[in-house]
Amino acid sequence: MTAHQQPLQNVKALFFDVFGTTVDWRKTVTRALHTSATTTLTSSKPNSNKNIPASIHTKASTMTLEDWATFAAVWRETYHAFTRTVAASLDSDPAKPYKTVDQHHHDSLIQLLADNGLTGLWNDEEVKELSLVWHRLDPWADTCEGIRSLNELGYITSTLSNGNVGLLRNMAEYAKLEWKEIVSAEMFASYKPNPKVYLGAAKKLGLQPEECGMVAAHLKDLEAARGCGFRTVYVERAREEAWEEEKVIQTKKDAWVDVWVMEGENGFVTAAERLGQAARK
């Protein structure tokens, strides 16, 4: 971006990554796992602790909040591996059936419970319900105000997430996210960072790529969006960036990110303030 150019000049729509950028998945999922396990272990109702095998009851009873945080992080990493694989493979094998993030979350939870010797802690119905915790993630403190401010500035605010449509709609209702549009990778039968997702999102709103901005806490997402012609807004979030620090520093020096919001600032609110100030110049 040149010195005289406004950040996101000519951009009409801002597409938002959701997991980690808009909502704090780590805190919410960890709490849900820990609370559900504690309730199951202490309940005296049928299908609770008295029907849990002793070895599983003992194992789960020793797990701390930090242990469940580790479990949640591994669960999240299976999502990354899954979406990357699908994004790369569907183009080479279009006949391959598409699997939603909801389906992945359920299947991977079953596998993780087995891997950790916890199969039987919850019954099938409880596992299914727990897998849907990703529909009920808490927003970051600045999220809702920031989205409202960007709406007031005249931007079309929209999701652009690997989460399926039903998940994103439920999350918007739960977290009171006032998106103007809901766009999901599911609509394009692929996952980010496949270019068809970014280009498909722009086309869906009747826009050219250069009229779109991508907001994310992950530079890999922004790099892929930029490669499709999008402008970029980087909002740092705690423990969300996967790139090594050296690569992040070099990216900042290269200055291809249009708006960079530091972790110590106020997230989406700061992004809205900067864009509003630029528009008034």
Measure the CA–CA gap between 214 and 222, rounded to whole angstroms.
6
Cα end-to-end distance, the chain, whole Å: 16
Bridge partners of residue 161, in order along the sequence: 184
Digitized pLDDT (tens) for each residue of the chain, 281 residues in all: 443 346 788 999 999 999 999 999 999 999 999 999 999 998 844 444 457 888 999 999 999 999 999 999 999 999 999 999 998 886 656 677 889 999 999 999 999 999 999 999 999 999 999 999 999 999 999 999 999 999 999 999 999 999 999 999 999 999 999 999 999 999 999 999 999 999 999 999 999 999 999 999 999 999 999 999 999 999 999 999 999 999 999 999 999 999 999 999 999 999 999 999 877 66
Question: What pLDDT is stored for residue 150 in this prediction?
Answer: 98
CB neighbours of 90 closer than 8 A, spacing ≥ 6?
A: 96, 98, 189, 190, 194
What is the pTM for the complete model shown? Answer: 0.93
What pLDDT shows up at residue 33? 98
How many residues comprise the chain? 281
Q: 62: Cβ–Cβ under 8 A, 6 or more apart, which residues?
A: none
Q: In what order do the strands lie in the sheet with 13-16?
A: 156-159, 13-16, 212-216, 231-235, 259-261
Which H or E run includes 261? strand 259-261
Which whole-number Å values give the CA distances from 155 to 1, 15, 55, in the listed order? 20, 10, 55
Question: Looking at this protein, which amino acid is placed at residue 185?
Answer: A
Which residue blocks in the chain are alpha helix, DSSP H? 25-42, 54-61, 65-89, 101-115, 124-131, 143-152, 165-175, 195-204, 219-227, 245-254, 267-280
pLDDT at 97: 83
- Measured CA to CA, the distance from residue 97 to residue 148 in angstroms comes to 37
Alpha-carbon span 22 to 141, nearest angstrom: 10
The tokens of 136 are what? 């009920």
Burial of 269 (0-12, 13-18, 19+ CB in 10 A): buried
**15 neighbors 183 (Cβ within 8 angstroms):** yes
